[in-house]
């Protein structure tokens, strides 16, 4: 489902994750916060996936999802909005790849390619991460990583053993049916 953004907007792919507290509730609240942010409209959200942690210290499994958002915000403003939502959920960055209440990563923004160290687009490890590619392919089967390959092709090649789709709970698009 490739979503065409509005005339002055861009389509962004956001990866959400949590492994501290009530992760499903946190991810839904984060989606609601994104939807309540001026210049951001959540248009699709994947199922929830339970995933093994990648890198970092010993920690609990994550819940992950991918959201497609239509945004009028530029890259830095979108990053600030995502980081503001993380902060509202008490995200701390003490241990790289450590446990977190909430992670909201910008994976892609339209077809933008940028190697800015503060916001590299597309996300530099997206193509290697099953916990990003599997839910992304679910919400946009025709997705292509900017400057790269089709996400569905990557899913076929990635180790999917640490990623399992949950039947419930179900995340909802803010403002959509309950």
Question: Is residue 43 assigned to a domain?
Answer: yes
Question: Is residue 4 assigned to a domain?
Answer: no
Q: Name, in order, each residue with C-beta under 8 angstroms of 91's C-beta and a sequence gap of 6 or more.
A: 100, 101, 102, 103
pLDDT by residue for the chain (178 residues), tens only, comes to: 444 545 578 999 999 999 989 999 999 999 999 999 999 999 999 999 999 887 767 778 989 999 999 999 999 999 999 999 999 988 666 666 567 889 999 999 999 999 988 898 999 899 999 999 999 999 999 999 999 999 999 999 999 999 999 999 899 999 866 5
Q: Within 13 Å and on the Cβ side, how many CA atoms surround 48?
A: 21
Paired strand residues for 69: 12, 42
Question: Is residue 35 assigned to a domain?
Answer: yes
- Spatial distance between the Cα atoms of 79 and 83, rounded to a whole number of angstroms: 6
Number of domains in the chain: 1
What pLDDT does residue 90 have?
Answer: 80
Kindly report the CATH number assigned to the domain that includes residue 155. 3.30.70.560
Which one, of 30, 62, 82, 79, lies nearest residue 130 by Cα? 62
Question: Is residue 64 assigned to a domain?
Answer: yes
Q: Are 121 and 103 in contact (CB under 8 A)?
A: no
Length of the chain counted residue by residue = 178
Residues with a known catalytic role: 91, 100, 103, 105
Question: Is residue 175 assigned to a domain?
Answer: no
Q: Are 136 and 151 in contact (CB under 8 A)?
A: yes
What pLDDT does residue 176 have?
Answer: 67
What pLDDT does residue 117 have?
Answer: 86
């Amino acid at each position: 489902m490739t979503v065409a953004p509005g005339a002055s907007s861009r389509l962004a792919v956001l990866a959400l994750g949590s492994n501290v507290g009530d992760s499903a509730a946190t991810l839904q609240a984060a989606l609601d916060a994104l939807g309540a942010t001026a210049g951001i409209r959540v248009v699709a959200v994947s199922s929830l996936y339970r995933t093994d942690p990648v890198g970092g210290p010993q920690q609990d499994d994550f819940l992950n999802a991918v959201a497609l958002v239509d945004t009028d915000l530029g890259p830095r403003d979108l990053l600030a909005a995502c980081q503001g939502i993380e902060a509202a959920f008490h995200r701390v960055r003490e241990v790289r790849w450590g446990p977190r209440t909430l992670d909201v990563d910008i994976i892609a923004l339209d077809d933008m390619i940028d190697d800015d160290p503060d916001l590299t687009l597309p996300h530099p490890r997206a193509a290697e991460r099953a916990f990003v590619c599997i839910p992304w392919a679910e919400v946009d089967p025709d997705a292509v990583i900017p400057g790269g390959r089709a996400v569905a092709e990557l899913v076929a090649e990635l180790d999917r053993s640490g990623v399992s789709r949950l039947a419930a709970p179900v995340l909802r698009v803010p403002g959509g049916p309950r």
